[in-house]
């Protein structure tokens, strides 16, 4: 809302308008009082017709008859948020001088008191206030239009987001920070101090907790922080956090609206591309987990994602009863590291951390009630299936032991024992046992003999449980069991052969 300060009004009116009190020296702090309008009234209680912030002008007709009435009148004006009281005095008016109790009553109510000279009509004071407010509105509109024009020009800059945020800061004096939908910082205005940036990030986290569409919330620092959602195709694609004291308001809201619209448009293309890549990543990871691919086929899938030479680590998270949904848990993992591929499903989240840090762990911040997490060893991209098997095995053990997380290295004696064996001997043994099945799967991918063998052993040779996990009929599983024996020249009914199969698979899972 447009306003004129009391000090500005006193300067414009000259000697015809005089400040009586309260004072704190030649330049009074009361001069900063903002006036939103001027209103003339002789009513004992004009507050029902006021909205707050007005300069109330009166001649005091039928007012100030006694001290009690004068104090009550000033208290009513103060409760009605009147900005100041101006009383016209003179020999031809009701009061030749200010009533004796009035300065004390106004001071007690914290109400600035002014005296209007007799020769100055109250109407002229109203006109001066109206003219100042009109000029202020015109200036504000002009500044708003100029700011919007500069923001529109900044969009054409090669580094559009940085230029737009810098332009907004220069034209409004407000600091700005841009975040993605998950609260990750994308950019900020150049003069934004680190402590303010931290508060803006905290405000974005707080608003995000209220729901995906939460926006426009005024938060810390005397309500100087605003958070706005950037929406594209009815989806939040980012958040904009702003800070300034005094808070942004009035015509500046139009500038904020322009900023929000420009940033939303600039991010929409990136959001579409990101969604396409996310869908491709989720589909690929789903194939790696459920489609019985061999290592060569898995490596081809990873190259499609541009991860040919990457190292990675797998995270396998399963949930029972928890208020944290798989989708929310997946977002939690994505926010933990620089590059993460997730595939949330019913009761399960599988994730690949690309080029993970050496000391990667799931800290307490990323644990959630009801979730059990398994973490693989760090492996080259070509061993992605090994990493997924390791993470799944660690997750199963975490569930059995009711631990929030386990890494494959923490599982116990078997991994340690296998790692003590000669690497060539290990690999040779696993190859001798499983190579016939690998070769058959290579020629007949739908047979998935190695995958069937793995699930069958995990389920203690139960045809029903294996069929349920693989989504097959038990007769199909029975046929595959027979085929495994024929191809590998081993009999799953013999403990020794079953142990060799188990050890060969363990070597592949635990010793890539």
Burial of residue 72 (CB within 10 Å: 0-12, 13-18, 19+) is middle
Per-residue pLDDT of the chain (512 residues), as tens digits, is 567 888 889 989 999 999 997 754 444 567 788 898 999 999 999 999 998 899 999 999 889 989 999 999 999 999 999 999 999 999 999 999 999 999 999 999 999 999 999 999 999 999 999 888 877 776 666 777 777 788 887 777 777 788 889 999 988 889 999 998 778 888 899 999 999 998 898 888 877 655 444 444 444 444 588 888 887 666 777 889 999 888 777 777 888 888 888 888 777 655 554 556 667 677 777 777 777 777 778 777 777 776 767 788 778 788 777 777 888 888 777 777 767 888 887 888 888 888 877 665 555 556 777 888 888 888 887 888 888 888 887 888 788 778 888 887 777 656 656 655 666 777 788 888 888 998 998 898 888 899 999 899 888 889 999 999 888 998 998 999 999 989 989 888 888 888 888 888 877 776 65
Q: What is the pLDDT of residue 374?
A: 85
Q: At 288, phi and psi to the nearest 5?
A: -65, -35
Q: What is the pLDDT of residue 368?
A: 75
Q: What is the pLDDT of residue 213?
A: 46
Instruction: Confirm or reject CATH 2.40.50.150 for domain 4-132, answering yes or no.
Output: no
Long-range residue pairs from 197-200, CB within 8 A, at least 24 positions apart, any chain:
199/225, 199/243, 200/175, 200/225, 200/241, 200/242, 200/243
Q: Which fold has domain 419-510?
A: Arc Repressor Mutant, subunit A (1.10.10)
Instruction: Confirm or reject CATH 3.30.450.40 for domain 155-270, answering yes or no.
Output: yes
Under a CB-based contact definition with an 8 Å cutoff, are residues 166 and 172 in contact? no
Q: What is the pLDDT of residue 234?
A: 65
Q: Cis ω on the peptide bond leading into residue 22 (within 30° of 0)?
A: yes
Under a CB-based contact definition with an 8 Å cutoff, are residues 144 and 252 in contact? yes
Report the alpha-carbon distance of residue 399 to residue 425 in Å, rounded: 32
Domains 4-132 and 155-270 share a fold: no
122: left (phi over 0), alpha (psi -120 to 50) or beta: alpha
Whats the size of the chain, residue-wise? 512
Q: Domain coordinates of the chain in residue numbers? A: 4-132, 155-270, 292-409, 419-510
């Amino acid at each position: 809302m447009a306003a004129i300060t009391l000090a500005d009004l006193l300067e414009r009116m000259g000697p015809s308008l005089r400040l009586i009190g309260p004072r704190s020296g030649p330049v009074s702090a009361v001069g900063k009082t903002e006036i939103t309008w001027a209103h003339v009234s002789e009513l004992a209680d004009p507050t029902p017709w006021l909205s707050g912030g007005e300069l109330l002008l009166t001649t005091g007709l039928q007012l100030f008859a006694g001290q009690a009435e004068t104090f009550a009148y000033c208290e009513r004006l103060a409760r009605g948020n009147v900005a100041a009281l101006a009383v016209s005095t003179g020999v031809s008016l009701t009061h030749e001088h200010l009533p004796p109790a009035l300065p004390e009553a106004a001071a007690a109510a914290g109400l600035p008191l002014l005296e209007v000279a007799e020769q100055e009509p109250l109407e002229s004071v109203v006109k001066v206030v109206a003219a100042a407010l009109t000029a202020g509105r015109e200036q504000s509109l002009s500044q708003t239009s100029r700011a919007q024009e500069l923001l529109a020009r900044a969009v054409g800059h090669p580094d559009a987001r940085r230029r737009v945020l810098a332009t907004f800061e220069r034209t409004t004096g407000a600091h700005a920070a841009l975040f993605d939908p998950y609260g990750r910082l994308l950019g900020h205005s150049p003069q934004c101090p680190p402590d303010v940036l931290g508060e803006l990030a905290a405000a974005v986290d707080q608003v995000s907790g209220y729901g995906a569409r939460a926006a426009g919330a005024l938060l810390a620092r005397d309500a100087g922080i605003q958070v706005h959602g950037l929406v594209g195709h009815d989806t939040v694609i980012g958040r904009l956090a702003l800070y300034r004291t005094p808070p942004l308001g009035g015509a500046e809201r139009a500038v904020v609206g322009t900023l929000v619209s420009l940033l939303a448009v600039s991010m929409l293309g990136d959001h579409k591309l990101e969604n396409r890549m996310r869908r491709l990543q989720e589909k690929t990871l789903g194939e790696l987990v459920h489609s019985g691919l061999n290592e060569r086929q898995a490596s081809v899938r990873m190259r499609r994602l541009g991860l040919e030479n990457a190292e990675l680590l797998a995270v396998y998270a399963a949930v029972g009863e928890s208020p944290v949904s798989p989708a929310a848990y997946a977002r939690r993992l994505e926010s933990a590291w620089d590059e993460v591929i997730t595939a949330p499903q019913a009761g399960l989240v599988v994730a690949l951390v690309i080029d993970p840090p050496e000391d990667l762990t799931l800290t307490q911040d990323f644990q959630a009630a009801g979730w059990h997490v398994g973490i693989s060893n760090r492996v080259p991209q070509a061993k992605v299936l090994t990493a997924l098997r390791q993470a799944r095995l660690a997750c199963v053990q975490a569930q059995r032991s009711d631990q929030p997380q386990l890494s494959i290295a923490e599982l116990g004696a078997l991994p340690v024992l296998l790692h003590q064996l000669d690497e060539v001997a290990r690999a040779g043994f696993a190859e001798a046992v499983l190579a016939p099945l690998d070769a058959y799967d290579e020629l007949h991918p739908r047979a998935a003999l190695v995958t069937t063998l793995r699930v069958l052993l995990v389920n203690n040779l139960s045809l029903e449980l294996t069929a349920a996990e693989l989504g097959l009929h038990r007769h199909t599983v029975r046929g595959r069991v027979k085929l495994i024996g024929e191809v590998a020249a081993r009999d799953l009914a013999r403990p020794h052969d079953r142990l060799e199969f188990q050890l060969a698979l363990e070597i592949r899972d635990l010793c890539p």
